[in-house]
Chains A and B, each alone.
Chain A
Amino acid sequence: MDNVIVKVENLKKWFPIRRTIGELFRHEQKWVRAVDGITFSIDKGKIFGLVGESGCGKTTTGKLLMKLLEPTGGKIMFEGKDVTHLEPEALKKYRRSVQMIFQDPYASMNPRFRARDVLEEPLIIHHISEDRAEREKLVSRALEEVRLIPPEEFMSRFPHMLSGGQRQRVATARTLILSPSMIVADEPVSMIDLSTRAEILHMMKAVQRELNLTYLYITHDLSTARYFTDQIAVMYLGKIVEMGESDEIIDHPVHPYTKALIAAVCEPVSGKVNRIKEVPIKGEVPSAEDIPRGCRFHPRCVYARTQCWKEEEPQLVEVSSGHWAACRIFA
Chain B
Amino acid sequence: MEIDILEGVFDANEKIARENEALFKEKRVLAMNLMASPGAGKTSLISATLERLQDNLRIGVIEGDIASNVDAEKLKTYDIQIVQINTGGACHLDANMIRQALEHMDLDAMDLLVIENVGNLVCPAEFKLGEGLRAMILSVAEGHDKPLKYPLMFSDSQVLVVNKTDLIGMGDFDMDELHETVEKMNPEITIFDLSCRTGDGLDAWTDWLYEKVKSSTK
The answer to whether A and B interact is no
